[in-house]
A and B are shown apart, each in its own frame.
Chain A
Amino acid sequence: MRSLYQKIFKTYWNPYVAISLAGVLSALYFGATGTVWAVTGEFTRLGGHVLEWFGVDTSKWAYFQLIKMQGSPLTRTDGWIVIGMLFGALITVLLSNSFKIRVPQQKRRLVQGFVGGIIAGFGARLALGCNLAAFFSGVPQFSFHAWLFMLATAVGTYIGVKIVMTKWWRGKPNLKPATATVTKLPVGKKRTLQPLLGLLVSVFFLGVVVYFALQGKNLLAIAALAGLGFGILIERGQICFTSAFRDQWISGRSVMTKAIAVGMMVATVCTFFYIHNGMPALIKPAAPSTLLGGLLFGIGIVMAGGCETGMMYRMMEGQVHYLFVGIGNLVGATVLAYGWDHLGIYNALTKGWQPINLLKSWGEPAGLIGTLVMLACWWLLAHWWSQHYKFGRGLQVKSDVLTARKAMK
């Protein structure tokens, strides 16, 4: 029992396993509700609610009509996905005793996170989805726009890396000389408070789910449970879409990229089953706004250090930085909602462009196999890149610990 607890909560899970489970869960969620795992649409609605509290009449804004503003986060499935994710992440953070209020040493990080968050939030909504609906759960819907988004995000993260590698962005590290090597680490006090709180929070949240079920609000119960599952999986797997793109440019690290590619293949196969049996696929327009949105999203997530999903579990870890990123996401999404009709963004970048369903354009077998082949190519490309990446700095040794150790002897 104890060793099982250790295994589940004291170590992070293999990202391949975590993201594949998320792939299965996202397909099941689609099958049960007809909607996909997504978060930024709800962020935008939340921004709309905030404006309403301040007396702004948003009922005529075209973007809010497009994403539908009825009810509140507490009465919408999309709302409970977000709430569930926050709770799921919080529960595993507490159970693993990892909560800590973390304030970055350099205060400029907070501003950077906020600005990056705005750009990422704006870009995501411009493309009508973030790394989830326009990517992780968009590709398995066979919506071509997700591929455009992905490509543009990759380019955006490259630009983002160029920005964050500059001196004025990085600032000075806090380096202190030490006289002797520290061999003994300070022993943290053994505390059971956090796991206990984690247990209480899980009981409370499951109570909410049972309440919904008893009230006959089955969709909300399903959304809350699915959200809980997603939150647990992204936290335990430390699933980071930003790292999946950014790390390739910084160090050629490709573990997260390959794990996400595999998770998406799993999601694609499972989702195909539902669409084949008559569930309508959710297809979005493949337009210039998708490309521009992906580009901005890529730049923004690298500047912020996390995307809309990564931000959520890191906020629950107590990282103050990501509170700023989250608020930035909300602001950016709301600005886009305003500009959609008021600044003519829709007319300029989206109007007249059609949604492309790969299962319809290519036919079902080719659409499925084509999508899987493209994902496999992405995996292979990431693998090849990680093997051949040349570092600008540091030594060039083969990439495993043993080689580095041998070099010492």
Chain B
Amino acid sequence: MKANQILHVIADCPQSFQTVPEEVVKHGYELMREPERAGQDLHFFIRVLR
């Protein structure tokens, strides 16, 4: 992926709610907003910084 592209991750493992945000930032990407829950699915928006 290139800089400024956005990855929209849809996860249905509840634990990803805890792990994904932390790991996104640790790996140097930006979590664009708080993870959102729709039904039993979790949505993450991740931006590539550079």
Using CB atoms and an 8 Å cutoff, list the residues of chain A in contact with chain B. Answer: 12, 15, 97-100, 102, 178, 181-182, 185-189, 238, 240, 243, 247, 250-253, 255, 314, 317, 319, 389, 391, 393-397, 399-401, 404-405, 407-408
Contacts and interface: CB of A to CB of B under 8 A. Distances in A.
B24 to A, nearest CB: 8
Given A404-B49, A405-B30, A12 B39 contact: no
B11 to A, nearest CB: 10
Grouping DSSP codes into helix (H, G, I), strand (E, B) and loop, the A interface class, with mixed when no group exceeds half, is loop
Nearest to A190: B39
B4 to A, nearest CB: 9
Interface string B4-21: 001010001111011101
7 A-B pairs closest in CB distance: A395-B28, A188-B39, A394-B27, A100-B40, A394-B28, A185-B38, A397-B28
B49 A395 contact: yes
A394 B19 contact: no
A178 B10 CA distance: 13
B22 A408 contact: no
B14 A238 contact: yes
Nearest to B47: A408
A314 B39 CA distance: 17
B29 A394 contact: yes
A400 B8 CA distance: 20
A98 B15 contact: no
A99 B40 contact: yes
A102 B36 contact: no
A189 B40 CA distance: 10
